[in-house]
Amino acid sequence: MAVSKPSSCDCAYNANSVLSLLACKLDLWLYRRPFEGGRARRYTSIHRRGFGDLDRRLICSWDRELGAARTVLDLGSGPGSFARCLTAVHPHLTVIALEPSAALAGARPVRHGVRARAEALPIADSVIDVAVCLSSIRHVHDRHHALYELRRVVASAGAAYIVELDPSSDHRRIRNHSSATRSWLNRLTFGPLLVKTAPRPETIAAIARCAGWTRIAVHTDPLQPLYIMRLSQ
């Protein structure tokens, strides 16, 4: 199967809309980079708290698939919260927690921690059973290369899950997250500056098809302002 050459241009917003164009610009200027310094500290101490019990709910919903897996890649693992939760629930798994940020990679107590970029995974072909990108694909500079690399390392019978902020989220789901952070500034800015500027699921799906993923399914989380996309071959 022919796979399109990765490209860094993946903005699929409506150029006729001023708000859509602004969202695209903010995405390119502010978010396509790892968290370092104060941003890393704010994510760990404030934003990660807003996800509540999301880690356990995701693991529960993927229980059968994870139970049959041997190796899981947590791509953009941040402070390692998801990796630690996954290891606790499924101790038989080898969980590779991969994070490009020096601040986050150096602070997390995980067993198989790797510091690397999503565009150049230091992993052999077809050795990952399940890959998870939890609120991390938006911070990758070149999403085409990242999804291409994911397709390379995930086994043919495996799957990758993209869990990302959903720009179409209603106020209830946005409030569920922002209020749990206990930050008045986050309550004001989380919706317009983070949720509404996140890459839309149709944008990520188009990039995934370009990278060679053939089966794509998407649904929204009922509590958090997130969509959950399953990619397989």
Residue 2 is predicted with a pLDDT of 44
Q: Which domains does the chain have, with CATH numbers?
A: 18-232 (3.40.50.150)
| Neighbouring C-alpha atoms within 13 Å toward the C-beta of 98 | 24
| Strand runs labelled E in the chain | 71-75, 94-98, 112-114, 128-134, 154-165, 215-220, 226-232
Q: How far apart are CA 35 and CA 79, in angstroms?
A: 11
Confidence category of residue 4, pLDDT binned at 50, 70, 90: very low
Q: How are beta strands 154-165 and 94-98 bridged, if at all? A: unpaired
Confidence category of residue 157, pLDDT binned at 50, 70, 90: very high
Would you say residue 204 has pLDDT above 90? yes
**63: how many CB neighbours lie within 10 A of its CB?**
12
Residue 68 is predicted with a pLDDT of 97
Nearest CA-CA partner of 40 in 5, 93, 80: 80
Q: At 98, phi and psi to the nearest 5?
A: -105, 125
Nearest CA-CA partner of 75 in 54, 104, 96, 49: 96
Residue 183 is predicted with a pLDDT of 86
Q: What is the mean pLDDT of residues 57-64?
A: 98
Residue 1 is predicted with a pLDDT of 41
Q: How far apart are CA 138 and CA 79, in angstroms?
A: 17
Model-level pTM?
Answer: 0.88
The whole-chain average pLDDT of the chain stands at: 88
Q: What is the mean pLDDT of residues 195-216?
A: 95
Would you say residue 152 has pLDDT above 50? yes
Q: What is the mean pLDDT of residues 162-167?
A: 96
pLDDT digits (tens, 9 = 90+) for 63-106: 999 999 999 999 999 889 999 999 999 999 999 999 999 888 77
Q: Is 53 helix (H, G, I), strand (E, B) or coil?
A: coil
Q: At 25, phi and psi to the nearest 5?
A: -65, -45
pLDDT digits (tens, 9 = 90+) for 23-56: 667 777 678 888 778 877 877 777 888 999 999 9
Q: How far apart are CA 230 and CA 66, in angstroms?
A: 14
